[in-house]
Chains A and B, each alone.
Chain A
């Protein structure tokens, strides 16, 4: 390069920082509205709360196009194998958020038909309590997840594939 550096601005950063910056600012949620929490999740996506501000407005109808699983609502034992399958269908890297008390631990349904917490079948990154959580609550959970992603080291997983399964 014969030109001076001033004409070709550049940025130095760590690969981890750059990758996580891209990941956390374009999370594509998989909209799995299982119960009433779905209404609050939809409200979060709509104009008033507008998670497009976080780059998350692209709710996908297919798990294969999503990297964030928002488990919004009650998971019944009958639905549990389906949830597990949908999670397995999502490509890495992926994150899961348990929205509402039902997804966290069965909520008000300690019964024969309800799974007592979705973390029994998939690894959950962030829990958002509430019955249902407000859109503000969900946004707080999503921002917490963004922080968690920005603290992660994706290059470790790239260099060491075994680290991926440990998460």
Chain B
């Protein structure tokens, strides 16, 4: 992540509180495509989410986004980046958490912290096959239950596997 967010007091404040509370959890931070982003150690995710929600007031989980790093994964990186977009209301400030997760690794579910994570995680599972451990019902949300594969993975054929029914 390129620059440090020196001109974003909200972000700096949250970042300082985060590094003070969880030393070692923050791998890197900065402004990424216009969003204040923090790359986290995978194991600290649930505790960080709870801290951000209960103590720093980030009361909305807007969305969960998954990136498939299929190229960098071949060079030894982790396969997926899971992005948690948080929002603080009132105050209108946002923070983005980034967690890298491998192909066959699980990831702690955010549902115990944010109810809105339920469908977002089901969508991430449906499209990318990211396993969220502790989710109350991790099954497909859009695609038919008998669908095979995860269509938004970069190695999934663009036109589908069997060309329809």
Do chains A and B interact in one complex? yes
Chain B contact-residue range equals 10 to 19
List A residues 108-134 near B (Cβ within 8 Å).
110-117, 120-121
Cβ B165 vs Cβ A112 within 8 A = no
Cβ B143 vs Cβ A120 within 8 A = no
Q: CB < 8 Å: which of B157, B158, B163 contacts A116? A: B163
- Does B16 sit within 8 A of A, measured CB to CB? no
Residues on B with beta carbons closer than 8 Å to the beta carbon of A77: 143-144, 147, 164-165
- Does B161 sit within 8 A of A, measured CB to CB? yes
- Does B151 sit within 8 A of A, measured CB to CB? yes
Cβ A112 vs Cβ B144 within 8 A = no
- Does A80 sit within 8 A of B, measured CB to CB? yes
Residues on A with beta carbons closer than 8 Å to the beta carbon of B158: 110-112
- How far in angstroms is the closest Cβ of chain A from B8? 39
Residue with the greatest number of chain B CB neighbours at <10 A, chosen from A78, A112, A113, A117: A112
- Cα distance A112–B151 in the bound complex, in angstroms: 7
- For chain A, what secondary structure do more than half of its interface residues adopt (helix, strand, loop), or is it mixed? loop
Q: Mark B136-165, 1 if CB is under 8 A from A, else 0.
A: 000000111001000100001111110111
Q: How many residues of A contact B (CB 8 A)?
A: 14
Residues on B with beta carbons closer than 8 Å to the beta carbon of A121: 165
Q: Mark A75-101, 1 if CB is under 8 A from B, else 0.
A: 001101000000000000000000000
Q: Mark B58-93, 1 if CB is under 8 A from A, else 0.
A: 000000000000000000000000000000000000
Residues on B with beta carbons closer than 8 Å to the beta carbon of A113: 142-143, 151, 160
Cβ A110 vs Cβ B165 within 8 A = no
Residue with the greatest number of chain A CB neighbours at <10 A, chosen from B143, B151, B164, B165: B164
Cβ A120 vs Cβ B144 within 8 A = no
- Cα distance A112–B153 in the bound complex, in angstroms: 12
Residues on B with beta carbons closer than 8 Å to the beta carbon of A116: 163-164
Cβ B165 vs Cβ A120 within 8 A = yes
- Cα distance A117–B156 in the bound complex, in angstroms: 22
- Cα distance A120–B147 in the bound complex, in angstroms: 18
Q: Mark A21-41, 1 if CB is under 8 A from B, else 0.
A: 000000000000000000000
Q: CB < 8 Å: which of B143, B144, B156, B159 contacts A110? A: B159
- How far in angstroms is the closest Cβ of chain B from A158? 33
Q: CB < 8 Å: which of A78, A80, A112 contacts B159? A: A112
- How far in angstroms is the closest Cβ of chain B from A64? 24
Cβ B151 vs Cβ A80 within 8 A = no
Partner-A contacts on B (CB < 8 A): 142-144, 147, 151, 156-161, 163-165
- 6 A–B contact pairs at CB < 8 A? A77-B143, A77-B164, A78-B143, A114-B164, A116-B163, A117-B164
In the complex, the 7 A-B pairs of residues with the closest C-beta atoms, listed nearest first: A112-B160, A112-B151, A116-B164, A115-B164, A78-B144, A110-B159, A80-B165
Contacts A111-B151, A112-B157, A115-B164 aside, 20 further interface pairs with beta carbons under 8 A come to A77-B147, A77-B164, A80-B164, A80-B165, A106-B164, A110-B158, A110-B159, A111-B158, A111-B159, A111-B160, A112-B156, A112-B158, A112-B159, A112-B161, A113-B142, A113-B151, A115-B165, A116-B163, A116-B164, A121-B165
